[in-house]
């Protein structure tokens, strides 16, 4: 049961390949009845799944991983057809995803098993332990830009923590999600992982269904709507939203390496990456050189055939956003160092490199999500940090310097959930590192131990193993007990003095 056989609301989702408009497939837009039935079967499966021990869950998750890996080419083809990205990029996405699934499966026991906790002096007669239980059913809502990697960042960790998952993929990329659900059925007859296809209405129904937690990845605007819906039932939410990532280049940096990473981070996947490089702040003395190197880098990119650097915009309407940001930057006095408004031809957008763009511009303050980058000069590293931190977003960031201490010091000061030093996107491929943002980029964490904890409920147990000398937790406590307490308070807690 994939949840795909329910009734239709109205028209199907008709998926066209963004490269050539050819028909890929169509999928039903599931309505309330179908989603409710799917969540209800997921609830039964959740009890079964939660009752399995860590080893059994690990076995099944690794079997699922192997099924996906054996058919990686098919899955990559589906990603490429639905998003328009090059096949090689899609295959890398599959590999990256499997690394996370592997880590989640293998680290769930270590992270979530019950462990003893210190009870403290006053509680010498109790043994304390902390364990983690699954929420039950997690509703996952995903975007289209990395239609496998981003939702699986929630799905893998939610499943490994013992939850059942109902996944509503983006209306642009239901095919890859459907393949995932089929692979699950091949390894497990229980509907622990199911997919409901549809658009925002299906997503809204899922959020308002009886799911125990929602994991959302998508735009900040949608996260606000989902949070409002979750508020009605106090359903907890993890929100992975948009970004406006900054990259800082110090004067001592390896400029060629920085330029290579900027070109990849800004233009890769046609700039449709939540942690893509959208802004660069470079120290004034190396600004010109860096700009030349980036321009030389984008000038070499090819847009045709198998070697294409990136594909068309997946979402046609995004071209209007890119156009508006570029026009606004130029009107406010920014300069185009490469490309410009003429680079945008519908979904096909060749690289645009802007410089000297005022900080209040749209292309500095809002997510552009296209193959564009702003490279602004700064007078100092402090200036760079202040500008980098001056947007509503706080997802990822990067810094380039040969000075290890400086790199780490800058990383600490950047308002972002994850920072790379001397590379871009490095954290995304390290499963042990938690991922998520602050401010407009959302809250909560996927990936790593934090990702497993995000999909778990802490359960504390305190077991009294002998009678206490002080009888404080019954109505029979004596005056002698209370006299002892008043002597103990200053002894235990009254010794610290403020330092002069
Ligand atoms: P989107 O917000 O338009 O849609 C995301 C998902 O939400 C889709 O499945 C959509 O059907 C669903 N949805 C829309 N309205 C809904 C509603 N009211 N209730 C329930 N579900 C609803 O985002 P998108 O265009 O698909 O994706 C691009 C955005 O995702 C960008 O902002 C990008 O930065 C962000 N993103 C963030 C991360 C991250 O990990 N932080 C990763 C990838 C993408």
pLDDT at residue 134 greater than cutoff 80: yes
pLDDT at residue 293 greater than cutoff 80: yes
CATH number for the domain whose boundaries are 8-241+446-457? 3.40.605.10
201: Cβ below 6 Å to ligand 1?
no
Full-model pTM = 0.95
pLDDT at residue 398, as a whole number: 98
Span 173-202, mean pLDDT? 98
DSSP state string for 20-75: T--EEEEE--B-HHHHHHHHHHHHHHHHHHHHS-HHHHHHHHHHHHHHHHHTHHHH
**Substitution site in 222, 366, 370 for ligand 1 pocket (most atoms within 8 Å of beta carbon):** 222
Tokens of 283: 């120290």
Span 405-430, mean pLDDT? 97
Residues β-bridged to residue 397: 246, 419
Q: Give the C-alpha distances (Å, rounded to integers) separating 434 from 113, 215, 234, 408, 454.
A: 19, 15, 24, 18, 10
Residue 85 — pLDDT band, cuts 50, 70, 90?
A: very high
Catalytic residue, chosen from 274, 278, 367, 454, is 274
pLDDT at residue 136 greater than cutoff 80: yes
Please report the atom of ligand 1 found closest to the CA of residue 146.
Answer: 43
**Substitution site in 156, 166, 195, 218 for ligand 1 pocket (most atoms within 8 Å of beta carbon):** 218
Helix (H, G, I), strand (E, B) or coil at 381: helix
Please check whether residue 249 is in contact with residue 283, taking contact to mean a CB–CB distance below 8 angstroms.
yes
Residue 306 — pLDDT band, cuts 50, 70, 90?
A: confident
Give the integer Cα–Cα distance in Å for 448 and 111.
9
Minimum mean pLDDT range among 123-132, 372-381, 491-500:
491-500
- Model pLDDT for residues 121-130, shown as the tens digit of each residue: 889 999 999 9
Same fold, 8-241+446-457 and 246-430: no
Contacts of 163 (CB under 8 A, 6+ apart): 46, 49, 50, 134, 135, 136, 137, 138, 212, 213, 455
pLDDT at residue 141 greater than cutoff 80: yes
pLDDT at residue 25 greater than cutoff 80: yes
31: Cβ below 6 Å to ligand 1?
no
Residue 500 — pLDDT band, cuts 50, 70, 90?
A: low
- Model pLDDT for residues 46-65, shown as the tens digit of each residue: 999 999 999 999 999 999 99
Catalytic annotation present for 240: yes
Span 316-337, mean pLDDT? 98
DSSP state string for 255-301: HHHHHHHHHHHHHGGGG--TT---EEEEEHHHHHHHHHHHHHHHHT-
Residues β-bridged to residue 116: 129
pLDDT at residue 239 greater than cutoff 60: yes
pLDDT at residue 8 greater than cutoff 80: no
219: Cβ below 6 Å to ligand 1?
yes
Pairing of strands 237-240, 246-249: unpaired
Residue with token string 């605007």: 221
Mean pLDDT of the chain: 96
Residue 471 — pLDDT band, cuts 50, 70, 90?
A: confident
Catalytic residue, chosen from 82, 240, 278, 367, is 240
Residue 7 — pLDDT band, cuts 50, 70, 90?
A: very low
Residue 474 — pLDDT band, cuts 50, 70, 90?
A: confident
pLDDT at residue 1 greater than cutoff 50: no
Interval between CA 222 and ligand 1 midpoint (Å): 6
pLDDT at residue 232 greater than cutoff 70: yes
Give the CA angle between residues 450, 452, 457 to the nearest 5°. 100
Please report the atom of ligand 1 found closest to the CA of residue 395.
Answer: 41
Give the integer Cα–Cα distance in Å for 168 and 4.
11
Span 385-414, mean pLDDT? 98
pLDDT at residue 5, as a whole number: 33
Query: For 446, phi and psi rounded to 5 degrees?
Result: -110, 175
Query: For 265, phi and psi rounded to 5 degrees?
Result: -65, -30
Burial class (CB in 10 A: 0-12, 13-18, 19+), 358: middle
pLDDT at residue 191 greater than cutoff 90: yes
Give the integer Cα–Cα distance in Å for 488 and 491.
5
Give the integer Cα–Cα distance in Å for 209 and 40.
9
Helix (H, G, I), strand (E, B) or coil at 365: helix
**Substitution site in 96, 202, 219, 273 for ligand 1 pocket (most atoms within 8 Å of beta carbon):** 219
Contacts of 386 (CB under 8 A, 6+ apart): none
Give the integer Cα–Cα distance in Å for 149 and 93.
6
Give the integer Cα–Cα distance in Å for 272 and 144.
9
Fold (CATH) for 246-430: Aldehyde Dehydrogenase; Chain A, domain 2 (3.40.309)
pLDDT at residue 465, as a whole number: 94
Contacts of 35 (CB under 8 A, 6+ apart): 3, 6, 166, 196, 198, 202, 205, 206, 209
Alpha-carbon Rg for the chain, nearest whole angstrom, is 26
Catalytic annotation present for 241: no
pLDDT at residue 353, as a whole number: 98
Query: For 247, phi and psi rounded to 5 degrees?
Result: -130, 125
pLDDT at residue 252, as a whole number: 98
Query: For 113, phi and psi rounded to 5 degrees?
Result: -70, 155
Q: Where are the domains of the chain?
A: 8-241+446-457, 246-430, 465-493
């Amino acid at each position: 049961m994939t949840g795909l056989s329910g009734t239709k609301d109205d028209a199907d989702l008709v998926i066209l390949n963004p490269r050539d408009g050819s028909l890929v497939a169509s999928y039903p837009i599931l309505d309330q009845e179908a989603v409710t039935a799917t969540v209800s079967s997921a609830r039964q499966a959740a009890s079964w799944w939660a009752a399995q021990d860590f080893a059994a869950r690990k076995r099944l998750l690794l079997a699922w991983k192997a099924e996906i890996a054996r058919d990686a080419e098919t899955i990559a083809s589906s990603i490429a057809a639905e998003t328009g990205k090059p096949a090689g990029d899609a295959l890398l996405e599959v590999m990256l995803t499997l690394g996370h699934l592997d880590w989640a499966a293998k680290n769930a026991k270590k992270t979530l098993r019950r462990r003893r906790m210190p009870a403290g002096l006053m509680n010498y007669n109790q043994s304390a332990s902390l364990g983690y239980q699954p929420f039950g059913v997690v509703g996952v809502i995903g975007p289209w830009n990395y239609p496998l990697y981003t939702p699986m960042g929630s799905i893998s960790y939610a499943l490994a923590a013992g939850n059942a998952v109902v996944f509503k993929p983006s209306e642009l990329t239901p095919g890859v999600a459907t393949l995932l659900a089929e692979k699950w059925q091949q390894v497990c007859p229980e509907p622990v992982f199911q997919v409901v296809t549809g658009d925002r209405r299906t997503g809204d129904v899922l959020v308002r269904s009886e799911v125990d937690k929602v994991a959302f990845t998508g735009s900040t605007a949608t996260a606000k709507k989902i949070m409002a819906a979750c508020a009605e039932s106090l359903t907890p939410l993890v929100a992975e939203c948009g970004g406006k990532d900054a990259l800082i280049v110090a004067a001592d940096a390896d400029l060629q390496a920085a330029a290579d990473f900027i070109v990849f981070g800004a233009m890769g996947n046609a700039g449709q990456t939540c942690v893509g490089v959208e802004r660069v702040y470079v120290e004034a003395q190396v600004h010109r050189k860096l700009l030349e190197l980036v321009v030389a880098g984008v000038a070499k990119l090819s847009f045709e055939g198998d070697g294409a650097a990136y594909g068309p915009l997946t979402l046609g309407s995004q071209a209007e956003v890119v156009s508006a940001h570029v026009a606004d930057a130029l009107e406010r006095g920014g300069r185009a160092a490469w490309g410009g408004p003429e680079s945008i031809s519908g979904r096909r957008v060749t690289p645009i490199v802007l410089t000297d763009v005022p900080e209040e511009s749209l292309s500095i303050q809002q997510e552009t999500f296209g193959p564009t980058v702003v490279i602004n000069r700064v007078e100092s590293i402090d200036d760079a940090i202040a500008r980098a931190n001056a947007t509503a977003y706080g997802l990822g960031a990067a810094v380039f310097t040969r000075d290890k201490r400086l790199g780490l010091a800058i990383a600490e000061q950047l308002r972002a959930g994850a920072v790379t030093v001397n590379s871009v996107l490095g954290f995304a491929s390290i499963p042990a590192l938690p991922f998520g943002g602050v401010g407009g980029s959302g809250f909560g964490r996927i990936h790593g131990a934090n990702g497993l904890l995000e999909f778990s409920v802490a359960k504390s147990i305190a077991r009294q193993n002998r009678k206490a000398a002080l009888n404080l937790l019954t109505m029979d406590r004596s005056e002698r007990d209370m006299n002892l307490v008043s002597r103990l308070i200053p002894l235990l807690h009254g010794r610290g003095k403020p330092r002069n």
